[in-house]
Structures are given as C-alpha cells and as structure tokens.
Amino acid sequence: AALEADLRQGLALGQFLLYYQPQVDAQGRVTGAEALLRWPHPTRGMVPPVHFIPLAEETGHILPLGRWVLQTACAQLVAWAQDPVLGRLVLAVNVSARQFRDPDFASGVLALLHSSGANPRRLKLELTESMLADNLDDMVEKMAALGAHGIRFALDDFGTGYSSLSYLKRLPLDELKIDQSFVRDVLVDPSDAAIVRTVVGLAHNLGLEVLAEGVETEAQKDFLARCHCHVYQGYLFSRPVPVAAFEAFVLGSA
Ligand code: G
Ligand code: G
Ligand code: MN
Ligand code: NA
C-alpha cells in the first residue's frame, strides 16, 4: 500500500525515467532499442520494474504510467529524427495487458504520435502472450488499426506463456523475441538449443523478424548467428542505459 502511494506521487512528481538497451544486427549495427522503465526513488533507491509494474497493473496506475512511457518514447523519436543515424532507429516499447485491453488504447497511441510528430514507422510495440487470454479478435483489430499507420509489433518473451501456435497465424506481428530463459543455457542445454533453432526457423517461415534476448557472451551470439538469428539484445552489447549513454554507444559504433 505504501508503495502504491509512492507510485501515484512518483508519477505526479515525474520520478520515472526511460533507459534504452540497444538491439544489434549480425554486422554489429544498432537497429533499434528497447525502452525500459526505471524508477530512481528518492529514498527507496532504484525500484526494479518487477516490483512496481505488477503493482501498477493491479492498481490501474499502469494506464497513466504507460501513457507517460509512450509519450516519452515519442518525444525521443522526434529528437532522434534530427540525426541521420539516430533517426533510423526503431524504438520498442513494452505494453502491459491491462494497458492494451483499454478500449481507447489504439486511439490513444495514434493521438500521442500525432501530437508529438513522431514517425509511426519508428515505433514498435512489444506485446506478450498473456494478452491472448483476453480476446484474440480484439487484439487483432487493435493491431490492424495501429499497423495501418506503420506501427510494428513484437511478441515478447516468446515461448514462455500459454502459447498456441494458431494465434501466430492470426496476429499481424513483425517480430518474435526469443526469451532470455532459452538463450541463457543455449550452449549447454540441448533442449534450449533445439527450441532456439526451431523458433528461429518458425519466425523465418512465417516471414517474421526474430530477436534473441539476454545475449551475454560472444559464444552465445555466434551460436545464434549459426541458427540464422540476425538481431540480438543483451549485456554483451550493453545494459539498459540512460539516453545519453545509449546515443554515445550508437554514434560510437556507427
Ligand atoms: O529492465 P528490466 O528489469 O528492465 O525489466 C523488467 C520487466 O519490466 C520486463 O519484463 C519488462 O518487460 C518490464 N518493463 C520494463 N519497462 C516497462 C514498461 O515501460 N512498461 C511495461 N508494461 N513493462 C515494462
Ligand atoms: O521482459 P522483457 O523482455 O521486456 O525485459 C527485458 C529484461 O531483460 C529487462 O529486465 C532487462 O534489463 C533484462 N536484460 C536485458 N539484457 C539482459 C542480459 O543480457 N542478461 C540478463 N540476465 N538480463 C537482461
Ligand atoms: Mn520487452
Ligand atoms: Na522478454
């Protein structure tokens, strides 16, 4: 309850920040970033998202917080659009099930893009399998409405939820994100290796991009590259960092 009051106050006082983690292709070029919410609390210190996001979802604070994330992401895209290198990046934003379920979600995202002047083609929304429990038709309809404006969609944490492969046929997705739990032991656990190979093949056959999360070592990256996975995210390249450090990373590796 105390944390909930702090959450409300944190929003009002503007205590939240976005960190950015690069997404890198096989040539080492940064193709985009995932925006990750951070809460440097004045007395609690850095509160991890795994603590406050579930609470924000339970209490409904995720609606204004999610709006703040999207608004901040759009403002960042507008700033990057001034630069020839940063202007090519695609920014991925996590969307929670409760946020996506909001009947005004699609119109809200479009309104934020319009008022900020951000290019919808530079925005990617990360959805999770947990959203499928709701209503597949509604999900498809919202994705189509946003997709018509050029917004892209990734399925986050792929393979960890109650997945039925039939929904992959119906959802207008652009990318699968292989969950880090499969990447962690990919070199030592034959099951993880088989899963990774299969998911990469599935993505290619469905015409989707595929990104591996949680890549921490060169050896993991090499294995993934041999599986024809072409985009990576993880500590091997960079932790999630504040915007200035992210921009320096991109411009330094360009
Ligand atoms: O950085 P990491 O500890 O950064 O993130 C932990 C979890 O919090 C991840 O599952 C991530 O998807 C989630 N998360 C991070 N930022 C956001 C956000 O802006 N919105 C939502 N809904 N989830 C987020
Ligand atoms: O659930 P989601 O994929 O949205 O969140 C990504 C989470 O993974 C964040 O908490 C982020 O900080 C974390 N993360 C990113 N790269 C790595 C990595 O290489 N190793 C580990 N252990 N965690 C990572
Ligand atoms: Mn994510
Ligand atoms: Na994930």
| Per-residue model confidence as pLDDT tens digits over 126-172 | 999 888 877 899 999 999 999 999 999 999 999 888 767 888 989 99
Answering whether pTM is above 0.90, one says yes
Atom of ligand 1 nearest to the CA of 62: 22
Whose alpha carbon is nearest atom 5 of ligand 2? 36
Distance from the alpha carbon of residue 53 to the mean position of ligand 3, in angstroms: 13
Residue pointed to by tokens 């990576």: 232
Cα separation, 21 vs 91, whole angstroms:
10
Q: In 3D, which of 240, 251, 248, 242 has the Cα closest to residue 94?
A: 240
Taken in order 73, 76, 81, 83, the sign of the CA dihedral is negative
Is 214 touching ligand 2 by the criterion CB < 6 Å? yes
Is the per-residue pLDDT at 219 higher than 90?
Answer: yes
pLDDT in tens, 78-123: 999 999 999 999 999 999 999 999 999 999 999 999 999 999 999 9
Distance from the alpha carbon of residue 114 to the mean position of ligand 2, in angstroms: 30
Mean pLDDT of the 61-81 span: 98
Whose alpha carbon is nearest atom 21 of ligand 1? 94
Report phi then psi at 158, rounded to 5.
-60, 135
Amino acid at 248: A
CA 77 to the chain's CA centroid: 15
pLDDT band at residue 57 using 50, 70 and 90 as cut-offs: very high
Q: Round the average pLDDT of the chain to a whole number and report it.
A: 95
Q: Say if strands 209-212 and 175-178 run parallel, antiparallel, or are unpaired.
A: parallel
Mean pLDDT of the 202-224 span: 97
pLDDT in tens, 225-250: 999 999 999 999 999 999 999 999 99
